Structure formats: structure tokens, C-alpha cells
Amino acid sequence: MFNYNPGVGNILANPTLEQFRYCGLNTVRSLSAGFLTTARQNSSELYSRAEIELSSSSSLLLDSKVAYADRGEGGAGIKLVVHTPQGYKLILAKKLLIAITPKLDFLAPMDNTGLPEDASISNAAQDSEYNLPPLPGVYSFAPSRLPGLQMVTYTTPQSPKSFPLSNAMVKADIIRTVKRLQKQNPDKFGQTDPEFVDFRSHAPYTLQVSAEDIKVGFYEKLYALQGPRNTYWTGAAFRGEDSSLLWKYVEEIVVPQMLAGP
């Protein structure tokens, strides 16, 4: 689970429920039977096609942020003022589906009610339980599908902060780790200077709550957010970091609720 489920922080300190929410039966089956991917090994093509379809009906705003929201009660509908590169736009809708990570700092403009909130190298430590490495730190190095490029996964402990470390700090620590690996294994690794071809932060990733929060009904309260004030929710926090399960969740749970509402 540690090797195949990065980004969840210290798995020994997290509730078992949170671990299996992000490494469930579908993932276990895929590890043995193989993962479904696109024919051209290009997952971003899905988003490119979606962009084309949405843009054809002027239904897509890129590089835009919600500046103000009015999520009226009952059948009053939704009003959003969105800041775009072309200026402000007013969006009027009956229902709103939110897919961003539900962190309060991201949701500040949303008129909230104040509800509580393949060589593969795995990092290891000699003197820790199960040899798990200290965090924050490099999680693993794994080959990419592009020759000569390695994919590096870097993980921080779970934090109330949406971005616990800056990109510059993460990059610097990755470089230090690579140089240390080269120095300690000169017969296996060339003494070259690593270069970032691409860098992407997935923070905040894998939102979790404590066992105590789960006991007192956190998830019941979370799912009770579906519908009030004409607003519905999806995203990994509501199901798990699994796109196939998220699509099923939206199709089978969220959309029927949206269509059934007033």
C-alpha cells in the first residue's frame, strides 16, 4: 500500500478507513490485472477533447476565478461573478457542481455558511517502523514512459495547510536527495546534474480526517452538504483519488440528486 498509494502522508498514523478509501478494491484488482489507460498513453487527451467540446458552445472559462457567489436558498438559483482574462462574467444557473478540493481557503468566494471544516527506487529508513522514510521527503523514483526521464514523487505529512511547502522548497529537497544518492552510489548512478523537465504540485491531495472525527459523524455531515442552497459537490474528498469511481459517483449519485431537486 505504501508503494502504490503515495501522497497520503504517514500511513501508520492515519485511520485505516482513510487508507482504503484511496486504495480500494478497484486499485488492488488493477495492480494484478493492469490499469486501463488511453490508446496513445496520453491521459491529458481526455481533457483536450473535453476542452474542444465545451469551447464549441462557449461553455468553458480558462484561467478564471470565482470572485463572488450567491447560492440562493430554495429555488432562487445560482449567481456567480467570474474574473476571466477578458473581464468579469456573470453566470446564472439552477444548480452548481463543485469539483475543486473543498478547502476553506479555496472556497472563500463561494458564499459559505461557516460550517466546520520502472529502476524504481523507494525511499526507506533504517531505524523507523517498517523502514518508512521521514516526511517531508522523496517518496520514490520511478521510470516514466519517456526514455531518459524519471518520475519523482515527493510527499509531505498531512497538514491543515493547503500548500505546506513551496514548490521551490520541494525542488531543492529533490535535488539534494538525487545528489546524495549519486554520491553514495557512484558505481550505479552517473554524477550528472538533475534537471526538471516538468513539475506539478498535486497539493492539497488526499484530504483526511481523524478517527475521532469519523466517530462523531464527519462523513454523514459531509454528504449532507449535497443539495442545500442549490449546491452539489464532487471530487476526491467525497469519494477517493480514483477518477473512474468519481465518474460513477457523479453519474449515479450526484446527477440524479441534482435532477430530482426543485
DSSP for 20-57 reads HHHS-HHHHHHHHH-----TTS-THHHHHHHHHHHHHT
The average pLDDT across 221-250 equals 87
pLDDT recorded at residue 190: 62
User: What is the DSSP pairing of strand 65-71 with strand 78-84?
Assistant: antiparallel
In this structure, of 84-88, 100-104, 177-181, 186-190, the range with the lowest mean pLDDT score is 186-190
The average pLDDT across 134-158 equals 82
- CA–CA separation, 191 and 179 (whole Å): 8
- CA–CA separation, 84 and 81 (whole Å): 10
- CA–CA separation, 227 and 3 (whole Å): 37
Q: Are 160 and 153 contacting, i.e. CB atoms less than 8 angstroms apart? A: no
How many other CB atoms are found less than 10 A from the CB of residue 75?
Answer: 9
In this predicted model, what pLDDT tens digit does every residue of 175-195 receive, in sequence order?
888 888 877 776 666 666 778
**Distance set, CA 138 to CA 44, 118, 173, 203, 249 (Å):** 25, 16, 8, 15, 32
The average pLDDT across 117-123 equals 70
Whole-model pTM above 0.85?
no
Looking at every residue in the chain, the average pLDDT score rounds to: 83
User: What is the DSSP pairing of strand 150-155 with strand 231-233?
Assistant: unpaired
Asked if pLDDT for residue 70 goes beyond 80, the answer is yes
Regarding predicted confidence, which is higher, 188 or 92?
Answer: 92
